Amino acid sequence: MGSLGALRRGSLLTVVLLFAFLSLLLLLIVAIVDYVFQAHAFPGGFAIVVALSLFFILFEWLISPFIVRWAIRSREPVTPESNPWLHQTVQELTRQAGVPMPRIWVSGDSSPNAFVFGRTVASSELVVTQALLQQLNQDEIRAVLAHEIGHLR
């Protein structure tokens, strides 16, 4: 199996491990609540704790992109007019990778970095720091962008 297969296996493993971790965390919360309140004193407690835990996991999943956007402090996504080279480069790389075009943001962060985030591949977003754009040449930036777009596969 090639490197694409390894990437897909790695992504699946990440999702499985995350689900397992959240499930263990939920089980720990349930065990603590059961110990503190004693199930016979409040029989519906288990169902309430499970429902609340699932609600908070879903809520975090829903708001996490907004939190990341707030944290990067970028007001407007990159457009073909605002940064033609960056937009065109990402467009070419996503076409070659066969993934949808992510929304692109430039963060004013002083450390050279780039990352992707989002709930699904279709709603993915790419963040590139201003420092990365200033400190690397176009070939290096293209390599970093290709790496990040590889995470979307």
H or E stretch including 111?
none
User: Whole-prediction pTM value?
Assistant: 0.68
Instruction: State the catalytic residues.
Output: 148
Same domain, 92 and 130: yes
Do 105 and 56 fall into the same domain? Answer: no
Asked if the structure places residue 101 within a domain, the reply is: yes
Q: What's the token pair of residue 144?
A: 């970093």
What is the number of structural domains in the chain? Answer: 2
Q: What is the mean pLDDT of residues 71-77?
A: 83
Same domain, 92 and 142: yes
* More confident site: 145 or 47: 145
Distance CA 122, CA 73 (A): 22
> Is there a domain that residue 70 lies in?
no
Does residue 69 sit within a domain? no
Range of the domain at 118: 84-150
Residue 67 domain-assigned (yes or no): no
- State the burial class of residue 93 (Cβ atoms within 10 Å of its Cβ: 0-12, 13-18, 19+): buried
Are 142 and 104 found together in one domain?
yes
Cβ atoms 72, 113 nearer than 8 A: no
Q: How confident is the model at residue 39 (pLDDT cuts 50, 70, 90)?
A: low
Q: Which tens digits make up the pLDDT trace of 96-131?
A: 999 999 999 999 888 899 999 888 888 899 999 999
Within-domain flag for 76: no
d(CA 96, CA 133): 22
Phi-psi map region of 73: left, alpha, beta (phi>0 left; psi -120 to 50 alpha): left
Q: Are residue 91 and residue 145 in the same domain, yes or no?
A: yes
pLDDT > 70 in the chain, percent = 84
DSSP designation for 101: P
- Kindly state whether residues 135 and 105 are assigned to the same domain: yes
Q: What is the mean pLDDT of the chain?
A: 83
| Residue 49 in domain | yes
Give me the pLDDT at residue 67, please.
82
